[in-house]
Structure 1
Amino acid sequence: MRTKISIDIIELESSNYHLILPSQFEGNKNAYWVIDTGASKSVFDKNLAGFILSEEGETEDLHAANMSEEPLKTSLGILNPLFFGKLKVDNMKVALLDMNHINELYQKVTDYKICGLLGSDFLLKYNAVIDYKRRMLKLSV
């Protein structure tokens, strides 16, 4: 199955671009992700507990560039089913972090409320291809 999803390219500062991907949780609740090709693991805002199916008590070290020199301790979670275009994703594993600081940054230039960062774990699993010219993300399984 292949799906194409329109992305939005936001310029947060001069020549500082972020790719925004819409998704939809069951029940038609929109959620917006930043595509982060440099992140090894996808991250979700732990403040959005209504979208988290389960939280694992274990913590893991998350090495986050520009957040701190030391790895961050995070809990792991599994999200409720959600859709990226026509692609349904069940049991998506994510690191759970407080993303208030990211949303404060975004509020300065856009109305998007960011729920998470899509990292290489997701992008590789779904064979993601970013088409900058057409502002599209292609996913396939």
Structure 2
Amino acid sequence: MRSKIAIELIELESYNYHLLICSRFNDGETAYWVIDTGASKSVFDKNQADFILSEEEGTEDLHAANMSDEPLKTSLGILKPLFFGKLKVEAMKVALFDMDHINELYQKVSDYKICGLLGSDFLLKYNAVIDYKRRVLKLSDQKS
């Protein structure tokens, strides 16, 4: 299955852009994601528990670019099925993290509530191509 999803550019500060896409869960609920090509693992907001199918006990160290040299402690979760355009993603594995600070940033410039960050694990698995000119994210679950 191939899918094209519109990208919205969000300017958090002057010339500081984030790429935002929309997905939807089986119940029709909309979820907004930041495309984070620098993240190795996709992250989901642990505060949006209605969309988490299961959570693994224990924690995992997630090395993130933040102000500390210490890795962030996260738990691992599996999300309920969701759609990125026509592409259905089942049992998406994510790191669970409190994203309140990210949503506080976004509330200053938009009405979007961010549910997660799409990292390289997701982008590689679905052969992602970012078309900046057309502002589209192309995804495919087919082998290249």
Same fold by TM-score greater than 0.5: yes
TM-score (norm 2): 0.96
Is 1:97 paired with 2:97? yes
Residue aligning to 2:134: 134
Task: Work out the number of aligned pairs and report it.
Answer: 141
Instruction: Kindly report structure 1 stretches of 4+ aligned residues shifted beyond 3 Å.
Output: none
Shift of 1:67: 4.6
Aligned-partner residue type, residue 46 of structure 1: K
Which digits, 9 at most, give the CA deviation of each residue in 1:57-100, with x for residues without a partner?
03110001025220011100000000000000000000000000
| Identity over aligned pairs, percent | 81
Q: Partners of 2:130 and 2:94 in 1: how far apart?
A: 21
Q: Which residue of 2 aligns with 1:117?
A: 117
Q: Any gaps of 5 or more consecutive residues in structure 2?
A: none
How far residue 111 of structure 1 moved from its aligned partner, in angstroms, is 0.6
TM-score, normalised to structure 1's length? 0.98
What is the CA–CA distance in structure 1 between the aligned matches of 2:80 and 2:18, rounded to whole Å? 25
What letter is aligned with 1:118?
A: L
Unpaired segments of 5 or more residues in structure 1? none
- In structure 2, C-alpha distance between the alignment counterparts of 1:73 and 1:66, rounded to whole Å: 13
C-alpha displacement at 1:41, in angstroms? 0.2
Tell me the residue number matched to 2:22: 22
Deviations 1:26-48 (A, max 9, x none): 11000000000000000000000
